[in-house]
């Protein structure tokens, strides 16, 4: 199934609940929440208490993207806050297998993210354990960056590997996705589409509807 996950990184943080309501009512299936620690990425955003408050305003899938070092430390906090999916970066985990097991034990979905330059071979042995792979199409840390084209090849390769192994995982793409490249991204094999600035700049509800048109 193809789903849109608007990234609230590009929303107005002073009106987060309203912004989430807009994209929720326009039909977005997920809400993407970027958690940054100022160490794994050069930026700081929000923590679990904010997610807990946002949980009251939407029943959509809360898709929490942890861009933090050693994310194991925060898994319980985000589960208690109401996260439905917790995605960790392979590059940020000393013991990726253990972290994935930890997330699954909490009863939520587990995602593993790869920076643009990280090869998919890094996660070969954990593919059976996760529900989603997030392929970063920009270097994480900021919204509004330009899409890195070679990441399309990674998606094609990953979809092929998953097919060969009979795995039906979701492939999420995150960074620089716009109405101009969405078709290429879908053709490559991504099915969970994160979009930040291209949703929240201008009329967010209308933008969601336009994205969803491409995803039928």
CB 133 within 8 A of CB 155: no
Q: Which of 34, 37, 63, 72 binds Zn ion (CB under 5 A)?
A: 34
- Virtual CA dihedral for 51, 53, 54, 58, nearest 10 degrees? 120
The total number of residues written for the chain in this structure: 216
Which tokens go with 112? 């593993």
Residue 28: exposure state from Cβ atoms within 10 A (0-12, 13-18, ≥19): buried
Residues numbered 17 to 46 that lie near ligand DX5 (CB under 6 A) are 32, 34
Residue 65 interacts with ligand DX5 (CB under 6 A)? yes
Closest C-alpha to 67, from 92, 50, 47 = 92
Could you confirm whether 174 is annotated as catalytic?
A: yes
Q: Which residue has its beta carbon closest to Zn ion?
A: 65
Catalytic residue among 34, 63, 72, 170: 34
Residue 37 interacts with Zn ion (CB under 5 A)? no
Could you confirm whether 153 is annotated as catalytic?
A: no
Per-position DSSP letters for 150-161, written without gaps between them: THHHHHHHHHHH
- Mask: binding to ligand DX5, 158-177, rule CB under 6 A, as x and -? ----------------xxxx
Per-position DSSP letters for 156-182, written without gaps between them: HHHHHHHHHTT---EEEEESS--TTTH
Nearer Cβ to ligand DX5 (191/197): 197
Q: Which of 3, 4, 10, 169 binds ligand DX5 (CB under 6 A)?
A: 10
Shortest Cβ distance from residue 37 to ligand DX5 (Å)?
A: 12
CB 82 within 8 A of CB 91: no
Residue 195 interacts with ligand DX5 (CB under 6 A)? yes
Shortest Cβ distance from residue 67 to ligand DX5 (Å)?
A: 6
How far, in Å, are 51, 59, 117 from residue 33 at the CA level?
A: 8, 14, 22
- Mask: binding to ligand DX5, 110-149, rule CB under 6 A, as x and -? ----------------------------x-xxxxxx----
Residue 85: exposure state from Cβ atoms within 10 A (0-12, 13-18, ≥19): buried
Catalytic residue among 24, 131, 174, 187: 174
**Could you list the active site residues?**
34, 174
**Interface residues toward ligand DX5, by CB under 6 A:** 7, 9-10, 32, 34, 65, 138, 140-145, 174-177, 194-198
């Amino acid at each position: 199934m193809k789903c849109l996950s608007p990234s609230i990184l590009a929303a107005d943080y002073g009106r987060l609940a309203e912004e989430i309501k807009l994209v929720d009512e326009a039909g977005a299936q997920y809400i993407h929440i970027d958690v940054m620690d100022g160490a794994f990425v050069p930026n700081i955003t929000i923590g679990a208490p904010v997610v807990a408050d946002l949980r009251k305003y939407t029943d959509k899938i809360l898709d929490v993207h942890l861009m933090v070092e050693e994310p194991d430390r925060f898994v319980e906090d985000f589960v208690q806050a109401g996260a439905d999916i917790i995605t960790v970066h392979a590059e940020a985990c000393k013991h990726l297998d253990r972290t994935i097991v930890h997330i699954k034990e909490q009863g939520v979905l587990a995602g593993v993210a790869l920076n643009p330059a990280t090869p998919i071979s890094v996660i070969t042995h954990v593919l059976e354990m996760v529900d989603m792979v997030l392929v970063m199409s920009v270097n994480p840390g900021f919204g509004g960056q330009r899409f890195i084209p070679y990441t399309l090849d990674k998606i094609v390769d990953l979809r092929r590997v998953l097919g060969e192994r009979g795995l039906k995982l979701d492939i999420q793409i995150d960074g620089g996705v716009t109405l101009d490249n969405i078709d290429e991204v879908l053709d490559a094999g991504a099915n969970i589409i994160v979009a930040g600035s291209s949703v929240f700049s201008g009329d967010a509800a209308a933008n969601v509807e336009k994205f969803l048109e491409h995803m039928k």
